[in-house]
C-alpha cells in the first residue's frame, strides 16, 4: 500500500480502492466522497471482471443506497447478497443498473465510512464480491459457483475500517498540502505583481517569462531531435520552472525605483538642477540688457542641446566633442558669481556611450540577480522546488561567460536557466512599453536572439525549438495580448 506522496487527487483515490481490493481479495470496489452539501460524489469504481467506462456522478443523500446509508449512519455495512437484502436493513436499496447493463452479478458487499481522526465522515469505501484470490474471475453466470464464493467476515470489517482510517489521513494531508500550495502560489503571484509594478516598463514581464519558459521546456522535452533526447521535464519539473519564472526578478525589490525607471542619461534631479542654473544665468543676462543678449541665446541653445544629449541613444563622436565644450562652459549667475553649466556628475551621465545607465546604475540593476538569490534561498521550497533559487541566480548568465553576476560558462549554467534566459531576453526585447524604447517587432527580436546564438551566448538547440515551435504563440492569450504588442497580429 502506497498512499503517501500521491499528490494527484485521482491517483490517491484510485490507489485507495485498488489497494483495498487487493488486500481483501475483492472483484470490485468503489469510493464516494462528501464534497458538496446534501450529496455524495461517486469518484472511483474499479472492476476486475468487466470492462466499463466510469463516469463520475453526484448522488443525493436522500437516495436510498448502500453508500448513502453508510455515510449517513457512520457505520460499516456487510451484506451477503445484495439481491436478498434482509428486511432488517430498511432503507438500503441496491442499484442493479450496473449489473443489468454489463451482465455482471454483484453479490457480497462490505462498505465502511472513511472517518478522520475527529470522527467526521469524509466518504465511503465499498468493496464488492469477495473472492478466494485476487486473480480469480468472478462467476457472474453460475449460481452454483457464486454460492461457493467466500463472504466478508468480521475480521474483514476491522481490516477495511483500519485501512479507511489510513486513507482518511492521506486524503486530509492531501487537502492540507493543496491548501498550502494554493496559499503560497497566491502569495508569490501577489508579490510578483508588486515587483513588476515598480517598473511600468516591465509590467507583466515575470508572468510572461514564466509561461514562455515552461512552454519552451515542454517543447524541448517533446521534440524528437537527436540532440534534444537528453531533455525530459516531468510535470513537477515544469511546475518548478513556472515558479522560478514568476520569481526570477524578485531581487528588483532591492533596486531603487529611480534607477529601474530611468529613461534618460540625466536623472530627474540632475535635469532640474541644470535647468535652475540656466534660468539663473538667463536672469542675469536679461539684467545686462543688450550686453547679455548673446549669453541668453547661448544658454537657450545649450539647454536644448543638453536635452538632446540626455536621450538614451548611442553617443556619436561629434556629440562627444560638443559635450566636452559644454563641460567647460561657464556663465555669470544672478549674484555676479561664476556658474558652471554642468557638474562633473552631469558630464559622467551625459558621457554614457549607450542606453541611459551609468556604470554604477548598471551595477545596481544587475545586483537584482544576487538579491533574488539571497532572498529566494531563504524560502524552504522543499525537494520538488529546491532548484528555484539557483535557476533565478543564473538567468543572466551567458554560455560564453559574458553574462553576470558570476560569469558562468556552458554546462555550469543549469539547463533550466539556459531555457529561461532565451525567454527572458525575448520578452525584454519584444514587450517593452517604455516611452523612449518601443517594443521591437518579432523579426528584429529574433534577429538579435539569433546573433546571440551565433556568438555562442545562447544555446542553439533550444533557440531552434523556440523558433520552430513559435513558443511566443503559446502564451495564454490573456497574458499575451495586452503586453506583447503585435503578437496577436503575428499569432493570427
Residues that bind Fe ion (CB under 5 A): 249, 424
Residue 215 or 249 having the CB closest to Fe ion: 249
CB of 269 to Fe ion, least distance (A): 26
Q: Which residues neighbour 204 within 8 Å (Cβ) at sequence distance 6 or greater?
A: 196, 431, 479, 482, 483
Residue 167 or 217 having the CB closest to Fe ion: 217
CA distances (Å), origin 200, targets 203, 458, 484: 5, 27, 14
CB of 204 to Fe ion, least distance (A): 11
Strand order across the beta sheet in which 121-130 lies: 57-60, 39-47, 26-33, 121-130, 109-115, 77-79
Residue 333 or 355 having the CB closest to Fe ion: 355
CB of 122 to Fe ion, least distance (A): 44
CB of 53 to Fe ion, least distance (A): 47
Pairing of strands 330-332, 121-130: unpaired
Query: CA angle 28-29-30, nearest 5°?
Result: 140
CB of 203 to Fe ion, least distance (A): 12
Could you tell me the sign of the dihedral formed by the alpha carbons of 176, 179, 185, 188, in that order? negative
- Which string of DSSP letters, residue by residue, matches 388-426? HHHHHHTTT--TBS-SSSS--BGGGS-HHHHHHHHHHHH
Residue 68 or 202 having the CB closest to Fe ion: 202
Residue 46 or 423 having the CB closest to Fe ion: 423
Stretch (H or E) spanning 373? helix 359-376
Chain-centroid distance of CA 86 in Å reads 56
C-alpha cell at 173: 494531508
- Beta partners for residue 123, in sequence order: 33, 114
CB of 396 to Fe ion, least distance (A): 6
Q: Which residues neighbour 93 within 8 Å (Cβ) at sequence distance 6 or greater?
A: 64, 65, 85
Could you tell me the sign of the dihedral formed by the alpha carbons of 402, 405, 411, 415, in that order? negative
C-alpha cell at 5: 506522496
Q: Which residues neighbour 94 within 8 Å (Cβ) at sequence distance 6 or greater?
A: 65, 66, 82, 83, 85, 106
**Strand runs labelled E in 54-108:** 57-60, 77-79
Residue 195 or 446 having the CB closest to Fe ion: 195
CB of 391 to Fe ion, least distance (A): 12
The end-to-end CA distance of the chain, in Å, is 51
Residue 196 or 237 having the CB closest to Fe ion: 196
Q: Is 301 exposed, middle or buried (0-12, 13-18, 19+ CB in 10 A)?
A: exposed
Phi-psi sector, 277: left (phi>0), alpha (psi -120 to 50), beta: alpha
Residue 249 or 361 having the CB closest to Fe ion: 249
Residue 240 or 249 having the CB closest to Fe ion: 249
Residue 67 or 394 having the CB closest to Fe ion: 394
CB of 197 to Fe ion, least distance (A): 15
From CA 236, how far away is CA 80, in angstroms rounded? 45
CB of 206 to Fe ion, least distance (A): 7
Residue 207 or 266 having the CB closest to Fe ion: 207
CB of 474 to Fe ion, least distance (A): 18
CB of 253 to Fe ion, least distance (A): 12
CA distances (Å), origin 149, targets 20, 34, 144: 18, 32, 9
Amino acid at each position: 500500500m502506497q498512499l503517501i506522496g500521491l499528490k494527484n487527487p485521482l491517483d490517491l483515490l484510485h490507489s485507495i480502492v485498488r489497494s483495498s481490493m487487493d488486500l481483501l481479495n475483492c472483484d470490485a470496489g468503489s469510493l464516494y466522497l462528501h464534497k458538496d452539501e446534501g450529496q455524495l460524489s461517486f469518484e472511483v469504481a474499479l472492476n476486475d471482471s468487466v470492462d466499463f467506462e466510469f463516469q463520475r456522478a453526484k448522488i443525493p443523500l436522500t437516495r436510498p443506497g448502500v453508500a448513502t446509508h453508510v455515510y449517513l449512519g457512520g457505520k460499516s455495512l456487510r451484506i451477503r447478497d445484495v439481491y436478498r437484502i434482509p428486511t432488517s436493513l430498511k432503507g438500503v436499496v441496491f442499484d442493479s443498473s450496473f449489473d443489468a447493463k454489463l451482465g455482471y452479478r454483484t453479490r457480497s458487499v462490505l462498505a465502511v465510512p472513511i472517518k478522520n481522526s475527529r470522527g467526521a465522515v469524509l466518504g465511503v469505501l465499498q468493496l464488492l464480491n469477495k473472492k478466494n484470490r485476487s486473480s480469480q474471475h468472478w462467476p457472474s453466470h453460475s449460481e452454483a459457483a457464486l454460492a461457493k464464493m467466500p463472504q466478508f467476515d468480521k475480521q474483514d470489517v476491522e481490516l477495511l475500517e483500519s485501512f479507511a482510517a489510513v486513507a482518511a489521513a492521506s486524503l486530509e494531508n492531501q487537502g492540507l498540502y493543496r491548501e498550502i500550495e494554493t496559499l503560497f502560489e497566491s502569495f508569490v503571484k501577489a508579490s510578483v505583481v508588486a515587483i513588476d509594478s515598480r517598473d511600468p516598463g516591465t509590467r507583466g514581464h515575470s508572468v510572461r517569462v514564466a509561461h514562455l519558459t515552461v512552454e519552451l521546456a515542454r517543447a524541448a522535452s517533446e521534440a524528437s531531435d537527436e540532440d534534444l533526447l537528453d531533455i525530459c521535464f516531468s510535470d513537477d519539473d515544469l511546475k518548478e520552472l513556472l515558479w522560478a519564472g514568476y520569481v526570477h526578478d524578485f531581487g528588483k525589490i532591492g533596486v531603487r525605483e529611480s534607477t529601474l525607471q530611468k529613461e534618460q542619461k540625466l536623472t530627474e534631479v540632475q535635469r532640474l538642477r541644470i535647468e535652475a542654473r540656466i534660468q539663473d544665468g538667463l536672469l542675469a543676462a536679461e539684467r545686462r540688457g543688450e550686453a547679455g543678449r548673446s549669453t541668453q541665446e547661448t544658454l537657450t541653445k545649450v539647454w536644448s542641446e543638453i536635452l538632446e544629449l540626455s536621450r538614451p541613444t548611442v553617443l556619436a563622436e561629434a556629440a562627444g566633442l560638443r559635450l566636452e565644450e559644454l563641460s567647460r562652459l561657464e556663465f555669470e549667475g544672478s549674484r555676479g558669481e561664476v556658474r558652471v553649466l554642468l557638474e562633473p556628475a552631469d558630464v559622467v551621465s551625459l558621457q554614457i556611450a549607450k542606453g541611459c545607465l551609468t556604470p554604477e546604475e548598471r551595477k545596481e540593476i544587475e545586483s537584482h540577480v544576487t538579491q533574488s538569490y539571497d532572498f529566494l534561498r531563504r524560502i524552504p521550497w522543499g525537494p520538488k522546488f529546491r532548484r528555484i533559487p539557483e535557476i533565478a541566480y543564473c538567468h543572466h548568465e551567458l554560455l560564453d561567460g559574458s553574462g553576470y553576476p558570476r560569469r558562468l560558462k556552458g554546462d555550469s549554467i543549469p539547463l533550466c536557466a539556459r531555457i529561461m534566459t532565451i525567454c527572458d531576453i525575448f520578452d525584454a526585447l519584444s514587450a517593452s512599453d517604455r516611452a523612449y524604447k518601443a517594443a521591437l517587432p518579432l523579426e528584429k527580436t529574433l534577429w538579435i536572439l539569433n546573433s546571440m546564438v551565433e556568438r555562442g551566448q545562447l544555446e542553439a538547440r533550444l533557440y531552434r525549438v523556440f523558433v520552430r515551435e513559435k513558443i511566443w504563440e503559446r502564451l495564454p492569450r490573456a497574458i499575451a495580448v495586452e503586453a506583447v504588442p503585435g503578437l496577436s497580429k503575428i499569432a493570427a
